[in-house]
Chain A
Amino acid sequence: MRAAGAGQPVSAARRGAARALNEPRAALVEAEFDGTPRAVDREAVALLREEWRVVDRWWTEAPVSRRYFDVVLESGRNVVVFRDDEAGGWFSQRA
Chain B
Amino acid sequence: MIACILVPGFELRAALRERPRLSLAPAALAPLPGTEQLLGPVTAAAEAAGVRPGMRLGEALATCPTLLLVEQDPAAAEEAWEQIVRRLEENGFAVEPVELGCLYLETRGVERLYGGLQPALERALAAVGSAWDPRAGAAGRRFAALAAASVARPGQILVVSDEHAPQFLAPLPLSLLPLDEERREELAELGVRRVGELAGLPGAAVAERLGPDGRRAWSLARGEERSRVHARRPPADIVERLEFPEPVGNELTLRRALGALLDRMLARPERGGREIRKLALAARLVGGGSWRRTVTLREPNADQLRIRAALAPKLAELPAPAVWLAVEPVELAESTGRQLELVKPDGMELEARLREGLRQVRASAGAGGVCTVVEVAPWSRLPEQRALLVPREG
> Do A and B interact?
yes
- Asked whether A9 and B386 contact (CB < 8 A) given A16-B242, A56-B381, the answer is no
Contact call A13/B384, Cβ cutoff below 8 A: no
- Say whether A93 faces chain B, with CB atoms less than 8 Å apart: yes
Q: Is B70 an interface residue (CB 8 A)?
A: no
Contact of A11 among B82, B324, B387 (CB under 8 A): B82
Which residues of chain A come closer than 8 Å to B358, judged between CB atoms? none
Interface string of B285-323 (1 = CB under 8 A from A): 000000000000000000000000000000000000000
What are the residues of chain B within 8 A of A24 when measuring CB–CB?
384
Which residue of chain A has its CB nearest to the CB of B264?
Answer: A16
Indicate with 1 or 0, residue by residue over B223-257, a CB within 8 angstroms of chain A CB atoms.
00000000000011111111111000000000000
Decide: A18 and B242 in contact? CB cutoff 8 A: yes
- Tell me which of A6, A13, A93 has the highest count of chain B C-beta atoms within 10 A of its own C-beta: A6
At the interface, yes or no: B391 with Cβ under 8 Å from chain A? yes
Q: Would you give the shortest CB distance from B111 to chain A, in whole angstroms? A: 29
- Known A-B contacts: A3-B243, A8-B76, A20-B384. Give 6 more (CB < 8 A): A2-B243, A8-B79, A9-B237, A21-B384, A22-B387, A94-B383
A87 at the interface (CB under 8 A from B): no
Instruction: Say yes or no: is B373 at the interface (Cβ < 8 Å to chain A).
Output: yes
The 0/1 profile, CB within 8 Å of B marked 1, for residues 18-30 of chain A is: 1111111000000
Say whether A3 contacts B382, CB under 8 Å.
no
Is A48 engaged at the interface, CB distance under 8 Å to the other chain? no
Cα of A18 to Cα of B393 in the assembled complex, Å: 12
A5 beta carbon closer than 8 Å to chain B: yes
> Is B389 within 8 A of A19, CB to CB?
yes
B68 beta carbon closer than 8 Å to chain A:
no
In angstroms, Cα B237 to Cα A24, docked, is 35
- Closest A residue to B261 by CB, please name it: A3
Q: Are B238 and A20 in contact (CB under 8 A)?
A: no
B386→A21 contact, CB < 8 A: yes
Which A-chain residue is minimally distant from B257 (CB atoms)? Answer: A3
Once the chains bind, are A1 and B241 in contact (CB under 8 Å)? no
Contacts of B242 on A, CB cut-off 8 Å? 3-4, 16, 18
A16 engages B76 (CB within 8 Å): no
Q: Are A9 and B79 in contact (CB under 8 A)?
A: yes
Nearest CB in chain B to that of A56: its residue: B381
Whether a CB of chain A sits under 8 angstroms from the CB of B206 is no
Task: Provide the bound-state CA to CA distance between A53 and B326, in Å.
Answer: 35
Task: Answer whether residue B215 sits at the interface, using C-beta atoms and an 8 A cutoff.
Answer: no
Specify which chain B residues have a CB less than 8 angstroms from the CB of A95 in the assembled complex. 383
Interface status of A42 (Cβ within 8 A of chain B): no
Q: A77: CB under 8 A from chain B?
A: no
Nearest 9 pairs between A and B by C-beta? A13-B239, A1-B245, A21-B387, A18-B390, A11-B237, A10-B82, A12-B237, A3-B242, A10-B79
Distance between Cα atoms of A56 and B384 in the complex (Å): 13
**Alpha-carbon distance between A21 and B4 when the two chains are bound, in angstroms:** 51
B326, A93: Cβ atoms closer than 8 Å: no
Q: Does B333 contact A (CB under 8 A)?
A: no
Judged by a CB distance under 8 angstroms, whether B367 is at the interface is yes
Query: Does B178 interact with chain A (Cβ within 8 Å)?
Result: no
Residues in chain B near residue A12, CB distance under 8 A? 237, 239
Q: Does A46 contact B (CB under 8 A)?
A: no
Say how far A90's CB is from chain B's closest CB, in angstroms. 15
B78 touches A13 (CB 8 A): no
> Are B389 and A20 in contact (CB-based, < 8 A)?
yes
